[in-house]
Structure 1
Amino acid sequence: MECDPTSIKTEPPFTDYDAQLTAYRETMESLVQRTLEAHGRIQQYIYKTPLTYSIPLSKQSIDCKVFIKLESEQLTGSFKIRGAFNKLLKLSSAGDVVKHSGIITASSGNHGMACVEAGGTLGIPVTVYCQRGVDEHKKQALLDRGVRVVLHGNDCVEAENEARAAAMREQKEYVSPYNDVDVIAGQGTIGKEILESCPDVDCILVPVGGGGLISGIARYVKQVRPSVEIIGCQPQNSKVMFESVKAGRIVLEESLDTLSEGTAGGVEENSITFPLCAEYVDDWILVDEEEIGKAIIFMLQHHHKVVEGAAGMTLGAYMKNPERFSGKKVVVVACGGNIGIDKLKHLLSLYT
């Protein structure tokens, strides 16, 4: 029997990265406590976003209840503010050096805006490296804030590598968009909020790019409620983490253009998110571009909410096979709402 390549259960091949898992074991074990500490640290700076019951999504499956975690309504329009504030608060508490020298980060847009917001609040200058071809709407949002934006490479990993090298040259702190335990712990606070609002959740669908968001959510939720199924969602046009987990190592795979630009691109070598995804993500769903576009319009039509491609991608993962979730209570993480008006107008012309 042939399996559906867009929804594949992968068993983690531990033999291929056992040494890496061992190296990160202490960090993994401490991540739940770090997440609890992050929640206490950042809650005065961020929003506790709504967990909204979706009647139209729930009706697509039998005896299913679907809730949407609206991180699209978070400060700066994205979940990224959680990890950024947690990291920068820890840096600023360590001394005044970082406030004078500033930080360097790499981003496809949302993480950069989050670092700028947190940096502005805490008095920390920020330089953002982006890949060429970064979403124009997000790049302009950074420029409008007066941020120094450096374009480098054609993939987010190339921008990340150059940003890390620049930080070493300039003796500044580098803040990774995902490959950092403090950033991951900040994103994990979403898992804490989900379990507080919906303690009997059965499945959580999470968008995956570099893996910081799902690593934080999965590690916390699996500790508190191991029975919850964590499902990683990626666009078919950029599925590096999925292919990496399947292969047992981080793979180099070209990413095609996708509406889910927030999750597009490669994964940094030796990223802590790789073993976390391999160990704690139960299943994967891949989503095509039409499914992403239709999900974005669905949210606008049925919930009067504007979401970006990465959020549409996760909603589309549910919508492509709602029968899979029959009889279950499901949370879909809508990770952001930063989409340009021209892109939204184009999608409206296609799907309405």
Structure 2
Amino acid sequence: MKDLVHHTPIRTSSSLDKMMGRNVYLKMENEQKSGAFKARGACFKIGSMTEEDAKRGVIAASAGNHAQGVALAAAKRAIPAKIYMPIHTPMPKVEATKNYGAKVELSGETFQEALFAAQKEQQQSGATFIHPFDDADIIAGQGTIAVEMLADMPDLDCIIVPIGGGGLISGIAYAAKQIKPSIRIIGVQTENACATYHAYHKHLLPSLTCATIAEGIAVKEPGKLTLPLIQQYVDDVVTVSERDIASAILYLLERHKTLAEGAGAAAFAALLRHHESIRSKHCGVIISGGNFDLQKLSELYALTTHLPANSMA
């Protein structure tokens, strides 16, 4: 993995530490290749493929960041890649995926619909399907984040991680607990797409819109492989609102001069909202991606000020 992905930096801020009443360490996966942590899992999965499987190409479904990770990893091995993405995927993510050399098919209103279309195509083409989260190699690749964080900051006693399908938190939680069993792992979902939150706390699952500015974690069902790992290795799962996420993006942009997308800011939003109840002196926060559609910047101000988005244009 060392030659395939960046060992991303950890950023600190004395003013943030003072405000939160603890030391905070931001793991900047928005500075990863392709702009998000997804490159890790994709590079490990595709890098492990046999030559015979590679010749058949790869196919995937994604809300955006997995698509770019797969396209990047496939390009490194000169493997043809086809990615299915929901029709409302931000265009910068679509164009970036194409620029890495992958073919893109826009299909369905949701990630689940794009996933179904990709799986149907895979059965016909025989290409290797690269699942965005429910795959042991993908999970292992994402777990390298925890290895880096604890090598750089051994005093970490907590890591806050966003949850979509659960591949990122499964990898981080498993790896971190092997290195430092006492560390606490806190998962975060948006209130509009929180199936894993309800499954973790054994609630009846309500109807979820999955309409969120954090489209990267807008997943209606937790993974079959990831949910048991989350239940075993994660210490708590919390939720944040759309306004929390918008405020977190703007705080990171204004105070730390770094751009996070909705999903990428979810863990930081959880720290801002739940810091009083999170037991930690040395808290790691995953800024998981930075592929934000700048045309939607006015929506962030609308969410934080209760003004219509068009009034901020």
What is the TM-score when the length of structure 2 is the normalising length?
Answer: 0.91
The CA deviation at 1:240 is 1.3
Q: Which residue of 1 aligns with 2:41?
A: 83
The answer to whether structure 1 residue 179 and structure 2 residue 137 are counterparts is no
1:143 and 1:170 map into 2 onto residues whose CA distance is 20
1:351 and 1:288 map into 2 onto residues whose CA distance is 11
The CA deviation at 1:100 is 2.9
Report the CA distance shift for 1:272/1:198 in structure 2 as closer, same or farther (over 3 A). same
Q: Which has the higher contact order (CA 8 A, sep 6+)?
A: 1
Matched residues, number: 305
2:169 and 2:209 map into 1 onto residues whose CA distance is 20
1:252 and 1:321 map into 2 onto residues whose CA distance is 23
1:50 and 1:132 map into 2 onto residues whose CA distance is 33
Matches within 5 A, 1:136-215: 136-215=91-170
The CA deviation at 1:244 is 2.1
**1:261 alignment partner AA:** E
Q: Where do 5+ consecutive residues of structure 2 fail to align?
A: 306-313
The CA deviation at 1:108 is 0.4
For the residue of structure 1 that corresponds to 2:292, the secondary structure is coil
Q: Where do 5+ consecutive residues of structure 1 fail to align?
A: 1-41
The CA deviation at 1:328 is 1.2
The CA deviation at 1:168 is 1.8
**1:277 alignment partner AA:** I
The CA deviation at 1:71 is 0.2
Report the CA distance shift for 1:154/1:346 in structure 2 as closer, same or farther (over 3 A). closer
The CA deviation at 1:206 is 0.1
User: Is contact 2:158-2:280 (8 Å) kept?
Assistant: no
The answer to whether structure 1 residue 49 and structure 2 residue 8 are counterparts is yes
The CA deviation at 1:198 is 1.1
2:115 and 2:184 map into 1 onto residues whose CA distance is 31
For the residue of structure 2 that corresponds to 1:323, the secondary structure is coil
Matches within 5 A, 1:206-285: 206-247=161-202, 253-267=207-221, 271-285=224-238
Q: Aligned to 2:62, which of 107, 114, 119?
A: 107
Identity score, percent? 35
For the residue of structure 2 that corresponds to 1:59, the secondary structure is helix
1:308 and 1:257 map into 2 onto residues whose CA distance is 15
**1:213 alignment partner AA:** L
The answer to whether structure 1 residue 69 and structure 2 residue 22 are counterparts is no
User: Is contact 1:239-1:255 (8 Å) kept?
Assistant: no
The CA deviation at 1:265 is 1.9
Q: Aligned to 1:299, which of 219, 242, 252?
A: 252
For the residue of structure 1 that corresponds to 2:4, the secondary structure is coil
Q: Aligned to 1:133, which of 69, 88, 106?
A: 88
What is the TM-score when the length of structure 1 is the normalising length?
Answer: 0.82
1:52 and 1:345 map into 2 onto residues whose CA distance is 27
The CA deviation at 1:154 is 2.5
The CA deviation at 1:138 is 1.4
The CA deviation at 1:264 is 0.5
Report the CA distance shift for 1:248/1:162 in structure 2 as closer, same or farther (over 3 A). farther
Report the CA distance shift for 1:168/1:107 in structure 2 as closer, same or farther (over 3 A). same
Report the CA distance shift for 1:98/1:327 in structure 2 as closer, same or farther (over 3 A). closer
The CA deviation at 1:348 is 4.8
Q: Which range is displaced more, 188-197 or 219-228?
A: 219-228
User: Is contact 1:54-1:68 (8 Å) kept?
Assistant: no
1:264 and 1:136 map into 2 onto residues whose CA distance is 17
**1:246 alignment partner AA:** H
2:77 and 2:203 map into 1 onto residues whose CA distance is 40
Cα deviation 1:293-325 (Å, max 9, x = unaligned): 111010011111011111221111000132234
- What is the root-mean-square deviation in Å for CA atoms of aligned residues? 2.0
